[in-house]
Structure 1
Amino acid sequence: MKSTFLHANLNVFDLQKSLAFYDKALGLKEHRRKEAPDGSFILVYLSDGATPFELELTWLRDRTEPYNLGDNEIHLAVRVEDKAAAHALHEEMGCICFENRAMDLYFIHDPDGYWIEILDR
């Protein structure tokens, strides 16, 4: 059997805040969206414009408090063109949550606390 990655899903508490974060921090743009006819959920698929992989953000209308991510032992990883410039932007945004200089990588966190690993070429 052969399979191909399509998307990964993250549930978000504040969709507009998350969309603004992913656009500014990583340049991910809304590619498509699906809204429930009754307004109970919105799915927004973000794209990097270069690969077919999408990040699906799910917003649930009836959610009344932020998600509990537990130990948050999961993360996404992205490769950036200019890591120094990305690091400066992320530092300015205040979203760097962990750095490992020995491994030449760092992590940022989104508004819901999900971690994203930042790597260079």
Structure 2
Amino acid sequence: MSRHFETAPGLCEARDSETNDYVFNQTMLRIKDPERTLDFYSRVLGMTLVKKLPFPEMKFTLYFLAAIPQDELSNWSSDDATRLEQTFGRPAMLELTYNWGDKENDEVAYHNGNSEPKGFGHIGFAVPELSQACARFDALGVTYVKRPEDGKMNNLAFIQDPDGYWIEIFAPHGMQDGLDEHLGSDESEV
């Protein structure tokens, strides 16, 4: 029996047992203004700052955020050393990196990967109901790249954070309906 649920060229079937306890922990985004970006991720997307690590000698600060349900916040330690271990052992963290002085430097702007040359694309958030989330984003004045009604894929939206990074918004229960008409194309044609 395969350890993969799908097939694709290049997949390794034999998993090295030494990787059994590996956890995909973080995606790092560079930010220009921590106050503006932390407001966005904590207010608009409900994320919790679990650890802040300033590095004065190297002149940067790391902010680690997680999407933690309110009833699970008590599982996090108030002890710095324990919370540091929790931070680096948890899956799906967002690491925001602020290089000191970038906020005041008009020449600093970060590439979001969606204009040429393309590279990084987006991060994604699952929400219970897409239409309700988008109505909330509208009320908060969030910038859209794509609304659900735009284009062919009506089961998702893309919003932008203050640094221009794209965030895909989708409801897991609505993904199959939106994908049915698009699935089945040969990857070599994409």
Normalised by the length of structure 2, the TM-score is 0.58
Match of 1:114 in 2: 165
- Equivalent in 90, 107, 112 of residue 69 of structure 1: 112
1:6-85 aligned at under 5 Å gives the runs 6-38=25-57, 40-49=59-68, 52-63=91-102, 64=105, 65-69=108-112, 71=115, 73=119, 74-85=121-132
Deviation, 1:41, is: 0.6
Question: Match of 1:18, SS?
Answer: helix
Higher share in strand: 1
Do the aligned partners of 2:112 and 2:166 also contact (CA within 8 Å) in 1?
no
Normalised by the length of structure 1, the TM-score is 0.87
Structure with more relative contact order (C-alpha pairs < 8 Å, separation 6 or more): 1
Deviation, 1:89, is: 1.6
Quote the RMSD (CA, aligned, Å).
2.0
Instruction: For 1:27 and 1:69, locate their aligned partners in 2 and report how far apart those are by CA, in whole Å.
Output: 22
Instruction: For 2:49 and 2:26, locate their aligned partners in 1 and report how far apart those are by CA, in whole Å.
Output: 13
Structure 2: runs of 5 or more not aligned:
1-15, 70-89, 173-190
Instruction: For 2:156 and 2:92, locate their aligned partners in 1 and report how far apart those are by CA, in whole Å.
Output: 22
Deviation, 1:100, is: 4.6
Aligned residues: 121
Deviation, 1:80, is: 0.6
- Percent identity at matched positions? 30
Q: Is 1:94 aligned to residue 142 of structure 2?
A: yes
Deviation, 1:37, is: 3.0
